[in-house]
Structure 1
Amino acid sequence: MTRISGMRFALIGAILIAISFGLARFAFGLFVPQIRADLDMSARTIGLIAALPLTSFVFISLIAPLVTKYFGARNTTVLSASFSVLGLALISQASGPFILGLGVIACGICTGLMMPALTSAMQALVDRSIHGRVSSIMNAGTSIGVAFSVPAVLFLVGAWRYAYLSFTLIAIGGVFLAWYFIPSVSKITPANAAPPPKITVRQWWRLLKLSLFAFAMGFIASAYWTFGPDLVTNLGSLTSQQSGWLWLAVGIAGLGGAVISDLADRNNPAITHALMLMMLATSLTLLAASPSQLYLAIFSALVFGLAYMSLTGLYLMTGIRLLPGRLSMGPVLPFLACALGQAVGAPLIGLLVGKFGYAESFSMFASVGILISLLSAFYPGHTEDELDIPEEETGLQAAFDYQLQDDEGEPLEMTRPEQVNKDGGP
């Protein structure tokens, strides 16, 4: 069993997130034009299929903490990576909506298991003081995966099956990466461990507001994720190769979201939320207004990628602050709400595209984004008392009373962060 530092864990987590969220989940929109043409599917059918991985993600996320508890961080991460292999392989061999639907459902299960498993391992390995930053770095892995899918479009023109086969091989590598680097964690609760504080009515109310904002953002973003490339290829007559540059721009700009969400969490979350949501709406408008202008379309993708990743990172870090000591709930609920918003938005945008066309449908979703951004004054930003909560009162200190096991189940020694001196020795 290999022990790893906090930042190394963050990088490994980012790679696994890149495979699960980037390749297995969000790369699908990039290949919608090719899949629609090859399998002769309507916009409504594609919209329904695009909602399936989000629905399976929501369902599995509800039981993922229990799965992680009983199977351990490593086994759950390996299981998640295995579902990505299954899902990507099924998509590559799909001959109709049924097999394609099964493939995207498996990909949704993969994403629903991955983050809780990584969070469980993070609690055991990473100092609480950098939990937010490590989570933000891992979240940026989505951008890496999205950007990594672009070469498949550029070099495998029209060959979406081969592209998904290449993703399958990468996902197999992710299975081995998870098995080798993610620890097998079993919880040991010492007699003097502080239990997580009881969730107050005020915390529940603020978490509800956070989840509603996350739901709305996921709903609005579903239009771009599902039909962005399809819009520029059908309405703007751009080629599949040219539409690939949109996802590259989304991935590159999304990397900046980790920095913005970190800064916003420490300064003014409400103002940043309003600005990023307005940018999200602007990206939809830009794409719908000038689908035949490649550079404007790429600019809209840059705006979308920066806004989307900034918002998801902000929701994640706000959730950690709202419920300190409950990493299986605080950051998970807004992610669930975001996925549920996308699950509702994907089939709706498909229905609207079929009835009104791309430009009008995207404009409707952009209008919703502008409206929600005006309500950002109600965003549950942190209070000063939440910033100063001592570690022993959060319940997270007990996270270091975990035990790492080697492959034979024997315990490995683990040193608490406060027991490490400045030279790095015990």
Structure 2
Amino acid sequence: MNANKLIAAGLPMIAVTYGLSRFSYGLLLPHISESVHMDQSTSGLISSLSYIAYCISIAAVMAFSAKFSPRSILLAAGLLSVVGLGIISVSPDPFILGLGIFVAGLSTGLASPPYADIVSTNIEEKRQNQTNSWINSGTSIGTVLTGCIAIVMAERWRESYWIFIGMAIVTLFVNYKVLPKQQAPNKKEIHAPSKEEWMRSIRLMIASLLLGLSCTPYWTFSRDYMLTLDSVPAYLGEWFWVIIGLAGLLGGTAGVFINKFGLLKAYWLSVAALSTSSLILGMNPGSIIIGFLSPVLFGSSYIFVTGAIIVWGISLFKTNPSFGIAVPFLLLALGQATGSIFAGQIADSAGYNTLFIGAAVMGFVALVFWPKIKENSNG
């Protein structure tokens, strides 16, 4: 299968399931909260439902990937995204909103792992890292689209979700037409991970958990925080999400960077940048320069570090590439689910500054758990 053709199908699917179905909630939160009457604690709790759903669905992929084809799983992801976005668009209260967020969150957990299997069995090895990285960068495309639509649509967040539904339907159709119905013949077989692979993934799992805890406050509350600051221009808060998404496109180069400089340098650079984005937002939020620099650092480093995690995971779970994404992303989601629950409470009790500085510290701790693998394995 042609790598560019797979990217053309996979990148929009990740854009829909991550950027639209999952992270759009944080962008549209100010208007949603006003419409359905939520405080910060309730907002954080509802946000956690997306991550909990993600954990459930990605665990299901790990358990049943041998029984269903990657194509079937991805089409299910697209369908759940359409349904979840539809529920969100008509939600009259926090309960129905939470249900929609949960259903949409299920789509996210189903989306990433199957692409790893398709890439592993259909794309030549020298292009696999880059193909996985560009598919993963779909989150940034979805974030940019969400941000632009939100700015144009202003307070009409329900209509924004109708547009998201249309995008999700088109993406579902494209994947239905493009994805291979059967895995390519004469390629490496996929087996259950060995005990040795599980043991070697402990550092990866700890790092993923810490990074999930670290990045959640930013995804959920950063734009809301910027909009409350009188010392920065209103346009900066309005365009905050777009800046994150555009910067995230740099993360699509993770595969090229890793192939050239190694996974270890990619991991250290991206984690340090990700943590710094939260630190400077918490320490000096009133600066216009920080208002631009922080989302640029976060957007580019988040996509970059998740790309590094994908390469790291696949290099550990060589016999089952989907587990190479599913395992670290499951731990990432567990961290995000836990972080969402406590982030709202911390914001209520101690303020946003404390929340973002604490998130940064958590991210810097993740630097201790760097990848220990042979660089000649291409990550």
TM-score where L is the length of structure 1: 0.82
Residue 272 (structure 1) shift:
3.5
Does residue 1:92 correspond to 2:89, yes or no? Answer: yes
Q: Aligned match of 1:317 in 307, 311, 314?
A: 311
Q: What does residue 269 of structure 2 align with? A: 275
Root-mean-square deviation (CA, aligned residues, Å) is: 2.5
Does residue 1:383 correspond to 2:378, yes or no? Answer: no
Relative distance call for 1:254 and 1:385 in structure 2 (3 A) is: closer
Q: What does residue 250 of structure 2 align with? A: 256
Q: Aligned match of 2:152 in 137, 150, 155?
A: 155
Q: 1:33-55: CA deviations, max 9, x gaps? A: 11112222111111111111111
Q: What does residue 194 of structure 2 align with? A: 199
Relative distance call for 1:256 and 1:355 in structure 2 (3 A) is: same
Does residue 1:300 correspond to 2:294, yes or no? Answer: yes
Conserved? CA contact 1:50–1:226, under 8 Å: yes
> Match of 1:149, SS?
helix
CA distance in 2, matches of 1:368, 1:307: 15
**Greater share of residues in helix:** 2
CA distance in 1, matches of 2:125, 2:105: 29
CA distance in 2, matches of 1:198, 1:355: 43
CA distance in 1, matches of 2:370, 2:224: 33
Q: Aligned match of 1:233 in 227, 230, 240?
A: 227
CA distance in 2, matches of 1:289, 1:136: 32
CA distance in 2, matches of 1:187, 1:49: 41
Relative distance call for 1:265 and 1:215 in structure 2 (3 A) is: farther
> Match of 1:381, SS?
coil
Gapped runs of 5+ residues in structure 2? none
Letter in 2 for 1:88: L
Letter in 1 for 2:32: I
Gapped runs of 5+ residues in structure 1? 389-426
Conserved? CA contact 1:68–1:120, under 8 Å: no
> Match of 1:274, SS?
helix
Does residue 1:339 correspond to 2:333, yes or no? Answer: yes
Residue correspondence of structure 1 range 160-179 to structure 2 within 5 A:
160-179=157-176
> Match of 1:98, SS?
helix
Higher mean displacement: 355-364 or 287-296: 287-296
- Percent of aligned pairs sharing the same letter: 28
Conserved? CA contact 1:47–1:348, under 8 Å: yes
> Match of 1:324, SS?
coil
CA distance in 2, matches of 1:46, 1:205: 37
Residue 183 (structure 1) shift:
2.1
Q: 1:30-88: CA deviations, max 9, x gaps? A: 11111112222111111111111111111111112555544433332222111111111
Relative distance call for 1:383 and 1:308 in structure 2 (3 A) is: same
Residue 153 (structure 1) shift:
1.6
Q: What does residue 37 of structure 2 align with? A: 40
Q: What does residue 361 of structure 2 align with? A: 367
Residue 130 (structure 1) shift:
2.3
Residue 239 (structure 1) shift:
8.0
Higher mean displacement: 226-235 or 208-217: 226-235
Conserved? CA contact 1:269–1:379, under 8 Å: no
CA distance in 2, matches of 1:362, 1:245: 20
Conserved? CA contact 1:67–1:76, under 8 Å: no
Residue 189 (structure 1) shift:
8.5
Q: Aligned match of 1:354 in 337, 348, 353?
A: 348
CA distance in 2, matches of 1:360, 1:31: 23
Q: What does residue 412 of structure 1 align with? A: none
Letter in 2 for 1:159: R
CA distance in 1, matches of 2:346, 2:311: 34
Relative distance call for 1:197 and 1:352 in structure 2 (3 A) is: closer
Residue 116 (structure 1) shift:
2.8
Letter in 2 for 1:309: I
Q: What does residue 70 of structure 2 align with? A: 73
Relative distance call for 1:200 and 1:298 in structure 2 (3 A) is: same
Q: What does residue 329 of structure 1 align with? A: 323
Residue 163 (structure 1) shift:
0.8
Q: What does residue 406 of structure 1 align with? A: none
Conserved? CA contact 1:218–1:340, under 8 Å: yes
